[in-house]
């Protein structure tokens, strides 16, 4: 795989994982088996490991779950609920420990303790106690905001309703709600006997049981808890993770008896192997071992990258494999026209989950694996969750069908599908004339994380499109005005009534003002995920400035281009997609049309936080930092409100020059920029 192929694959994976996250977290209706899903994330991680420079701001590795579903009140977590990075091999696990040491500037010999604890396959929750009384329980949701499931959690016998005297006045305990295998089997049998819903696996059963709107139903479900972390705490509980676990146990929270404190990477791996050997005999399902740096002060220094702590990693257990028949290979057309081959499988249960489809990624992958319709294929369930097609096992059988011929025309619109030299993905050239792309773009625009038009789900988008009522995002904003003119009134359509139609029009009206970052993300520009959209919005402030800059940046020698690629995380590839998007006449026309109906609000330049002399400043680090290491220095600068850029430009405020600095330092001098030594920088931010 070369960099261009890696980039295409990461693009595809980011969208695929986001899609399945929504199906799973918001709709409780996964479209693919857990193992299949996990295989996507795993593949993403594998590619990112090989091409670290291509990690996208909207990569699945930087995101947790999806936003909260409706039906429950929302709860904003005082301390965000994070996700974990994964390690899939012992080498990854060693790399994790090495990277912790590097970040902390610890030698290989310096003592460094971890806690190894089972990664429980359930769902995480946060339990809030005030003055020792359980007052609120919430799901993780998107990590920032979850659902209030207090009434349901009160029915879980293992959650203490009150705590002994002397606990901090505010205390949030976090952990995993899960179901034991035996309880799950008994419950499913009872459900089946009653003719009610059966669950695919203990984790889905736990999630489905906790998210009941009627707590009496939850009360009848065998839910349990393992506590493993703290959220907000009014007073410190312990100075190490191990100390926290012990304190939680004293307060009568169930903690996992398999957790161990380990003083070396070998001890961690022993714990991993030991539990792996006993995994199937445990009364509950686990999908890996979580390694956590024990010392809280070190955890604080390590901090976070996106939404995962640098001080922890989940070391996953390997895939589970089964074979099934590959019935057919079908082609899906995505928002940006990418043609993705999908394996249509004879449904098969892989570790409790029924799998009927799996991605085949792209043309080369099919050729490399030489999988054909009618083959028996190995389907893999990776780590915690899921399956992908690994290989065909009966390739030598007589009478095997012909090799799959990848279409050179788009199956949705018939336009030529081309695959540029050096790229892995074949794309439909129909653009917005292709119904599949146009529908995907509309869906993308309306979705929760983009324009967030409530009540405009995928089926409705498809129906509006098929009917011709809505073809482009801007059509949405004239929907009410056109209603009953070109088309019969929406309220009279099947499945609609006056109330639902009025509600949809109101939901659209509510989005006639959109913040710049959402607007940009909603446009569906290739490679511009939520995080990139935020970066761009913050950098350019207003849509006019951004459009102007994109027009000028068509010249790669221009200041506008240099300014664009100097934004941290934006490289030549993303820049090329952005510039091409704005340069396309159809896109320009659609943006014009949108701006006739939508007010795009500007993003205020970050206000200098009191006491932070670097808020809003652009800083570039170059060379080796002695005191804290480059990554920690960068994280600290960002925490203080600075923008950290990858390269120097006229907009750079400070260049911090470490040891052995190279061309950037020379360039900074040439541009007459302010350079600082590491010591001067530390003095500036008050750490000198």
Residue positions annotated with a catalytic role = 119
**Smallest gap from residue 248 Cβ to ligand IVH (A):** 12
- Closer CB to ligand IVH, residue 383 or residue 387? 383
Considering only residues 32, 245, 314, 682, which one is a binding residue for ligand IVH as defined by CB under 6 A?
Answer: 314
Of residues 3, 124, 126, the one with CA closest to residue 65: 124
**Smallest gap from residue 50 Cβ to ligand IVH (A):** 22
Q: Which residues have CB under 8 Å from 280's CB, separation 6+?
A: none
Instruction: Single out the segment in contact with ligand IVH by CB under 6 A; choices: 116-124, 264-272, 273-281, 562-570.
Output: 116-124
Angle between helices 585-595 and 572-583 (to 10 degrees): 70
- Site for ligand IVH (CB under 6 A): how many residues? 15
Of residues 258, 217, 216, the one with CA closest to residue 117: 258
User: Minimal CB distance to ligand IVH: which residue?
Assistant: 124
Considering only residues 9, 248, 290, 501, which one is a binding residue for ligand IVH as defined by CB under 6 A?
Answer: 290
Under rule CB under 6 A, residue 142 binds ligand IVH: no
Q: CA-to-CA distance for 78 and 233, rounded, in angstroms?
A: 10
Q: Which residue has the tokens 């320009």?
A: 588
Q: CA-to-CA distance for 214 and 422, rounded, in angstroms?
A: 55
**Smallest gap from residue 312 Cβ to ligand IVH (A):** 5
Q: CA-to-CA distance for 537 and 521, rounded, in angstroms?
A: 10
In 10 A of CB 334, how many CB atoms? Answer: 21
Under rule CB under 6 A, residue 228 binds ligand IVH: yes
Under rule CB under 6 A, residue 82 binds ligand IVH: yes
**Smallest gap from residue 110 Cβ to ligand IVH (A):** 24
Considering only residues 120, 248, 265, 275, which one is a binding residue for ligand IVH as defined by CB under 6 A?
Answer: 120
- Closer CB to ligand IVH, residue 293 or residue 504? 293
Under rule CB under 6 A, residue 6 binds ligand IVH: no
- Closer CB to ligand IVH, residue 24 or residue 228? 228
Under rule CB under 6 A, residue 117 binds ligand IVH: yes
Q: Which residue has the tokens 């936080």?
A: 609
Considering only residues 44, 59, 61, 124, which one is a binding residue for ligand IVH as defined by CB under 6 A?
Answer: 124
**Smallest gap from residue 459 Cβ to ligand IVH (A):** 30
- Closer CB to ligand IVH, residue 78 or residue 669? 78
Under rule CB under 6 A, residue 275 binds ligand IVH: no
Instruction: Single out the segment in contact with ligand IVH by CB under 6 A; choices: 306-314, 527-535, 571-579, 590-598.
Output: 306-314
Q: CA-to-CA distance for 223 and 28, rounded, in angstroms?
A: 18
* Strand spans (E) along 113-219: 114-120, 123-130, 133-139, 145-147, 170-178
**Total residues belonging to the chain:** 688
Considering only residues 44, 59, 61, 83, which one is a binding residue for ligand IVH as defined by CB under 6 A?
Answer: 83
- Closer CB to ligand IVH, residue 290 or residue 355? 290
The alpha carbon dihedral of 463, 464, 467, 468 has a sign of negative
- Closer CB to ligand IVH, residue 140 or residue 643? 140
166-225 binders of ligand IVH (CB under 6 A): 176
Of residues 286, 268, 317, 278, the one with CA closest to residue 116: 268
The alpha carbon dihedral of 449, 453, 459, 464 has a sign of negative
- Closer CB to ligand IVH, residue 137 or residue 524? 137
* Strand spans (E) along 105-219: 114-120, 123-130, 133-139, 145-147, 170-178
Q: Half-sphere exposure (CA, 13 Å, Cβ side) for 206?
A: 25
Q: Which residues would be at the binding site for ligand IVH (CB under 6 A)?
A: 82-84, 117, 119-120, 124, 140, 176, 228-229, 290, 309, 312, 314
């Amino acid at each position: 795989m070369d960099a261009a192929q890696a980039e295409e694959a990461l693009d595809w994976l980011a969208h695929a994982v986001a899609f399945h996250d929504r199906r799973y977290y918001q709709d409780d209706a996964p479209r693919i088996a857990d193992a299949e899903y996990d295989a996507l994330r795993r593949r993403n991680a594998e590619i990112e490991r090989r091409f670290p420079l291509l990690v996208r701001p909207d990569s699945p590795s930087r995101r947790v779950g999806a936003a909260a579903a409706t039906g429950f009140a929302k709860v904003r977590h005082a301390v965000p609920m994070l996700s974990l990075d994964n390690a899939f091999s012992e080498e990854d696990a060693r790399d994790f420990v090495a990277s912790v040491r590097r970040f902390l500037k610890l030698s290989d010999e310096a003592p460094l303790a971890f806690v190894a604890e089972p990664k429980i396959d359930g769902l995480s929750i946060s339990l809030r106690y005030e003055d020792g009384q359980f007052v609120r329980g919430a799901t993780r949701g998107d990590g920032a905001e979850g659902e209030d499931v207090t009434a349901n959690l009160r029915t879980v016998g293992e959650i203490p309703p009150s705590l002994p005297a002397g606990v901090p006045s505010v205390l949030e305990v976090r952990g995993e709600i899960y179901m034991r295998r035996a309880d799950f089997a008994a419950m499913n049998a009872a459900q089946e006997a009653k003719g009610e819903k059966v669950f695919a696996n203990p984790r889905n059963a736990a999630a489905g049981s906790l998210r009941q709107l009627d707590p009496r139903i939850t009360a009848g479900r065998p839910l349990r808890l393992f506590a493993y972390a703290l959220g907000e705490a009014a007073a410190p509980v312990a100075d190490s993770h191990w100390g926290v676990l012990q304190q939680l146990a004293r307060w009568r929270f169930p903690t996992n008896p398999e957790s161990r404190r380990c003083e070396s990477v070998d001890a961690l791996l022993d714990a991993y192997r030991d539990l792996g050997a006993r995994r199937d005999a445990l009364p509950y399902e686990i999908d890996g071992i979580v390694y956590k740096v024990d010392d809280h002060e070190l955890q604080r220094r390590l901090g976070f990258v996106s939404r995962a702590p640098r001080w922890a990693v989940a070391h996953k257990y390997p895939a589970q494999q089964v074979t099934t028949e590959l019935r057919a290979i079908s082609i899906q057309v995505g928002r940006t026209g990418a043609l993705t081959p999908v394996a249509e499988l004879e449904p098969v249960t892989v570790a409790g989950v029924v799998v009927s489809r799996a991605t085949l990624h792209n043309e080369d992958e099919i050729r490399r694996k030489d999988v054909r319709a009618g083959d028996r294929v190995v389907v893999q369930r990776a780590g915690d969750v899921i399956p992908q097609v690994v290989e065909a096992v009966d390739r030598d059988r007589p009478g095997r069908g012909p090799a799959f011929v990848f279409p050179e025309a788009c199956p949705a619109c018939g336009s030529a599908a081309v695959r540029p030299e050096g790229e892995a993905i074949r794309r439909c050239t129909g653009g917005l004339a292709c119904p599949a792309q146009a529908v995907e773009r509309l869906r993308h625009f309306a979705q929760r994380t983009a324009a967030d038009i409530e009540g405009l789900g995928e089926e409705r988008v498809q129906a509006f499109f098929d009917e011709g009522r809505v073809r482009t995002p801007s059509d949405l904003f004239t929907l009410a005005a056109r209603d009953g003119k070109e088309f019969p009134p929406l309220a009279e359509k099947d499945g609609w009534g006056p109330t639902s139609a009025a509600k949809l029009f109101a939901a659209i009206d509510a989005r006639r003002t959109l913040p710049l970052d959402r607007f940009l993300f909603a446009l569906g520009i290739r490679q511009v995920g939520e995080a990139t959209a935020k970066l761009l919005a913050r950098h350019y402030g207003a849509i006019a400035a951004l459009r102007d800059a994109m027009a000028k940046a068509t010249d790669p020698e221009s200041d506008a281009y240099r300014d664009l690629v100097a934004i941290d995380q934006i490289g030549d590839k993303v820049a090329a997609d952005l510039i091409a998007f704005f340069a396309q006449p159809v896109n320009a026309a659609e943006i014009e049309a949108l701006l006739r109906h939508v007010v795009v609000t500007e993003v205020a330049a970050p206000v200098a936080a009191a006491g932070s002399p670097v808020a809003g400043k652009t800083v570039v680090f170059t060379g080796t930092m002695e005191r804290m290491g480059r990554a920690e220095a960068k994280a600290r600068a960002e925490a203080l409100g600075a923008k950290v850029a990858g390269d120097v430009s006229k907009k750079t405020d400070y260049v911090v020059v470490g040891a052995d600095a190279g061309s950037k330092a020379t360039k900074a001098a040439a541009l007459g920029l302010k350079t600082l030594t590491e010591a001067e920088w530390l003095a500036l931010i008050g750490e000198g």
